[in-house]
């Protein structure tokens, strides 16, 4: 099934619904200004001028986590073999970043694609948002805000997220994993002896967390604590963040 508004033509190309007749904003994501050189801008325009590549770019821009070739193909109603060369072309010109899937699946790890840090925003994310987040983080640090006030703010947001799922009959652990997936943490869960360990394959806060792990990781911890407490039926037993110098993960135990 194709994604919203997408249509696959007989030749395997995505047709007009994804065509953008207006100019693309080619400033770096999170900044204002031109991308490198005129030659590079031309390469980007030529690459995104293809309807299928533009559709792929939109799918990745809208996704909170990296996507595999098969996931992109399914969302657009295309065969993976059609999508794969387009992804490679987009990576070659610097639009995409690629990493192997490290979630431990059997066989050769598949490639996971995401937008490059300096890729065009195309107006999908206001470029001032990342700048605003960094300014607020700097302000909190200068004001001496510590990890616990940050965790309290995270818990409040976690409770709000839990309210949206109030009518669900699914177990708390499943709902928490679903919430983390929606936010882009790419969770991988393993249950053993009543405890579910959830590893975070991707961190949407990574850029901010590396500069101030105490505040940002505390926000994440509080977010999950508030969610689990509000939903009920489980507890957060352990939380490992960047400060532990180990893979970021959480242990959830059903009551």
Per the model's pLDDT, the better-predicted residue between 43 and 217 turns out to be 217
pTM across the whole model: 0.58
Q: Are residues 111 and 140 in the same domain?
A: no
Give pLDDT, residue 71.
93
Count the helices and strands in the chain (H runs, E runs): 9, 7
Highest mean pLDDT among 14-28, 34-48, 69-83: 69-83
How many separate domains does the chain show? 2
Task: Write down which residue in 67, 92, 115 finishes a domain.
Answer: 115
Does residue 3 form part of some domain? no
Kindly indicate the confidence band of residue 213, based on its pLDDT and cuts at 50, 70 and 90. Answer: confident
CB 68 within 8 A of CB 110: yes
**Structural domain harbouring 206:** 128-254
Does residue 199 form part of some domain? yes
pLDDT in tens, 29-49: 333 334 345 677 778 888 888
Helix ranges restricted to H, 69-171:
69-76, 80-92, 128-142, 147-163
Give pLDDT, residue 37.
59
For 61, 100, 138, 149, 202, the CA distances from 69, given in Å and listed in that order, are 15, 12, 37, 40, 17
- What CATH code is carried by the domain that includes residue 173? 3.30.1380.20
How many whole angstroms separate alpha carbon 200 and alpha carbon 248?
A: 6
CB 227 within 8 A of CB 220: no
Q: Are residues 148 and 237 in the same domain?
A: yes
Query: At 128, phi and psi to the nearest 5?
Result: -80, -15
CB 195 within 8 A of CB 188: no
């Amino acid at each position: 099934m194709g994604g919203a508004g997408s249509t696959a033509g007989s030749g395997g190309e995505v047709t007009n619904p994804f065509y953008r007749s207006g100019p693309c904003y080619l400033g770096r994501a999170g900044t204002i200004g031109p991308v490198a050189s005129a030659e590079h801008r031309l390469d980007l325009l030529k690459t995104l001028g293809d309807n299928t590549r533009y559709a792929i770019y939109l799918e990745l821009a809208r996704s909170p986590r990296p996507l595999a070739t098969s996931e992109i193909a399914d969302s657009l109603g295309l065969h993976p073999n059609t999508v794969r060369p387009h992804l490679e072309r987009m990576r070659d010109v610097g639009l995409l970043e690629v990493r192997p899937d490290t979630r431990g699946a059997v066989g050769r790890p598949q490639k996971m694609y995401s937008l490059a840090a300096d890729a065009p925003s195309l107006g999908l994310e206001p470029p001032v948002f990342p700048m605003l987040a960094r300014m607020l983080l700097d302000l909190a640090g200068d004001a001496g805000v510590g990890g616990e006030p940050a965790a309290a703010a995270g818990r409040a947001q976690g409770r709000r997220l839990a309210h949206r799922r109030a009518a669900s009959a699914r177990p708390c652990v499943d709902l928490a994993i679903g919430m983390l997936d929606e936010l882009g943490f790419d969770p991988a869960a393993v249950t053993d002896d009543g405890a579910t360990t959830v590893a975070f394959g991707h961190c949407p806060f990574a850029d901010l967390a590396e500069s101030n792990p105490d505040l940002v990781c505390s926000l994440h911890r509080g977010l999950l604590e508030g969610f689990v407490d509000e939903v009920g039926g489980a507890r957060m037993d352990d939380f490992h963040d960047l400060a532990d110098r180990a893979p970021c993960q959480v242990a959830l135990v059903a009551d």
